A and B are shown apart, each in its own frame.
Chain A
Amino acid sequence: GAVVSQHPSWVICKSGTSVKIECRSLDFQATTMFWYRQFPKQSLMLMATSNEGSKATYEQGVEKDKFLINHASLTLSTLTVTSAHPEDSSFYICSARGDSSNTDTQYFGPGTRLTVL
């Protein structure tokens, strides 16, 4: 149980284009999903917290107009990187937390590697 998928697993795009990444919880309902970013040899940094049916909460320094997050259902959250630039190239990882557990355990998706040319 507690499987989270991401699509696509990798994407290469031209500078200035937009890229959408999907995060799905496959066998549980995720009231909260999180988006992280990891640059090479760095740790994961939380970008935003997404609750189903409400606006995402962004961490300090993360541009909400550049990283659009939609959490339209209890099993799907999307991250859209708008007008991507080479500095946005990174490993984007989502995680999901269900509402039936008493713990804060987050289950991570396999990640999406974005390369902006």
Chain B
Amino acid sequence: QKEVEQNSGPLSVPEGAIASLNCTYSDRGSQSFFWYRQYSGKSPELIMSIYSNGDKEDGRFTAQLNKASQYVSLLIRDSQPSDSATYLCAATLSGGGADGLTFGKGTHLIIQP
């Protein structure tokens, strides 16, 4: 069973601090990785995608990928209360192409004002 694992939290971070979200995956052949944000009762919203080892920055968000360790992370700088949500890590299984995403169970992030 190919899986994506996340700590369900809740992860509580003070406003203005850096929130660090982590994810591991079991399928060594996975090529594409995504972070989605999901507010309660809503569908996921894409935050970032990452395909290569290293860091990828977009505004306050930085995604990090380490394929050797099968590890993906998301850093949120200057955390805001509006960042409070569930963050879903997702990966495409090896074989890519039209395969759907395998999601982790999500980490519930709470930004404390």
**A interface residues, Cβ below 8 angstroms from B:** 31-32, 34, 36, 42-46, 49, 51, 59, 91, 93, 95, 97, 103-111, 113
Contacts and interface: CB of A to CB of B under 8 A. Distances in A.
10 contacts: A31-B98, A32-B98, A44-B88, A95-B100, A97-B98, A103-B51, A107-B46, A108-B36, A109-B43, A110-B43
B43 A49 contact: no
Contacts of B88: 43-44
A106 B45 CA distance: 10
A105 B43 contact: no
A97 to B, nearest CB: 7
A107 B98 CA distance: 14
Interface of B: 31-32, 34, 36, 41-46, 49, 51, 88, 92, 96, 98-106
A110 B42 CA distance: 6
Contacts of B105: 42-43
Q: Is the interface of A mostly helix, strand, loop or mixed?
A: strand
Contact of A104 (B44, B96, B104): B96
A13 to B, nearest CB: 20
B24 to A, nearest CB: 15
Contacts of A44: 44, 88, 101, 103
Nearest to A42: B105
A46 B102 contact: yes
The 9 closest A-B pairs by CB, nearest first: A46-B100, A111-B43, A104-B32, A43-B105, A43-B103, A34-B100, A108-B43, A32-B98, A44-B103
A49 B101 CA distance: 10
Contacts of B96: 104
